[in-house]
């Protein structure tokens, strides 16, 4: 299948020292309001459309990637493939690693959020979902997720960006939230209010000191 923007993609040049974070498109679990975690649902038709739309928007901004990273989970990998297809970069090598997997929700995985609130109480479920340190039964806290995501970023992603690269990371809501704490300097209280929508993307530019700052690139002319 030919990429929809092949002619535009040929004219693009990579942004330098840029990182783009994208949450995966809507999954089958998202559509049913289920805790997903390490479960491996596919994208819904809406999720496919969201991923393609994100690819079109990234293309409109003139972004072209030199590096691509995603998790070992299907919904993120599908989103990555659709974005690269839309950009005409199907041949870009993608690094897939379980360190970027979604937070493990343990006993909550597969439960509808309403069912979970009935079983454990609304307040307990809120704490498990939003708190930085709270650990759902048999699962991971956001802090534990950050403890595997952030070292991977420092070891693999940051050097790629620092070497005049333009990196695309397609990940998961909580795994990305754990990164935003460092990238945006958010404390445990502030991260509770942060939500990344399906197929939403965030663009960061790296300064000479290696720090990343959120930026709003303008559409390419």
- Catalytic, out of 5, 67, 86, 102: 102
Confirm whether residue 113 is marked as ligand binding. yes
- Cβ contact 196:173 at 8 Å: yes
| pLDDT score at 194 | 93
Helix (H, G, I), strand (E, B) or coil at 217: coil
Confirm whether residue 210 is marked as ligand binding. no
CA distance 130 to 173: 12
C-alpha separations of 212 from 20, 61, 154, 195 in Å: 11, 19, 12, 20
| pLDDT score at 3 | 37
The answer to whether residue 78 is domain-embedded is yes
- CATH code: domain of residue 73: 3.40.50.1240
Give the residue numbers spanning the domain of 135. Answer: 13-205
Total domains in the chain come to 1
Confirm whether residue 16 is marked as ligand binding. no
The answer to whether residue 211 is domain-embedded is no
The answer to whether residue 8 is domain-embedded is no
- Catalytic, out of 24, 50, 140, 172: 24
Encode pLDDT of 101-135 as tens digits: 999 999 999 999 999 999 999 999 999 999 999 99
Contacts of 140 (CB under 8 A, 6+ apart): 103, 104, 105, 106
| pLDDT score at 65 | 97
The answer to whether residue 214 is domain-embedded is no
Task: Count the Cβ atoms, other than its own, within 10 Å of residue 67.
Answer: 21
CA distance 77 to 73: 6
The answer to whether residue 133 is domain-embedded is yes
| pLDDT score at 4 | 41
The answer to whether residue 166 is domain-embedded is yes
| pLDDT score at 216 | 87
Residue 172 annotated to the active site? no
The answer to whether residue 141 is domain-embedded is yes
Confirm whether residue 124 is marked as ligand binding. no
Alpha helices in 61-170, H assignment, sequence order: 74-87, 113-120, 122-130, 142-152, 158-162
CA distance 65 to 16: 9
Confirm whether residue 204 is marked as ligand binding. no
Burial class of 94 by CB neighbour count within 10 A (0 to 12, 13 to 18, 19+): middle
The answer to whether residue 82 is domain-embedded is yes
| pLDDT score at 1 | 34
Residue 24 annotated to the active site? yes
Confirm whether residue 102 is marked as ligand binding. yes
Which residues of the chain carry a pLDDT beneath 50?
1-12
Helix (H, G, I), strand (E, B) or coil at 79: helix
């Amino acid at each position: 299948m030919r990429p929809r923007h092949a002619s535009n993609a040929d004219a693009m040049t990579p942004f330098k020292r840029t990182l783009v974070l994208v949450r995966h498109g809507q999954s089958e679990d998202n559509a049913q309001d289920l805790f997903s975690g390490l479960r491996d649902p596919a994208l819904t038709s809406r999720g496919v459309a969201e991923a393609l739309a994100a690819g079109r928007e990234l293309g409109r901004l003139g972004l072209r990637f030199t590096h691509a990273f995603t998790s070992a989970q299907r919904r993120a990998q599908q989103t990555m493939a659709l974005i690269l297809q839309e950009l005409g970069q199907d041949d870009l090598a993608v690094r897939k690693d379980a360190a970027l997997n979604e937070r493990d929700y343990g006993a909550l995985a597969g439960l509808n959020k309403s069912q979970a609130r009935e079983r454990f109480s609304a307040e307990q479920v809120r704490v498990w979902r939003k708190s930085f340190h709270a650990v759902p039964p048999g699962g991971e806290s956001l802090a534990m997720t950050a403890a595997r995501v952030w070292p991977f970023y420092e070891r693999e992603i940051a050097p790629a960006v620092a070497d005049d690269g333009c990196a695309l990371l397609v990940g998961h809501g909580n795994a990305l939230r754990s990164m935003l704490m460092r990238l945006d300097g958010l404390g445990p209280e502030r991260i509770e209010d942060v939500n990344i929508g399906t197929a939403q993307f965030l663009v960061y530019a790296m300064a000479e000191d290696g720090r990343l700052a959120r930026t709003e690139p303008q559409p390419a002319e």
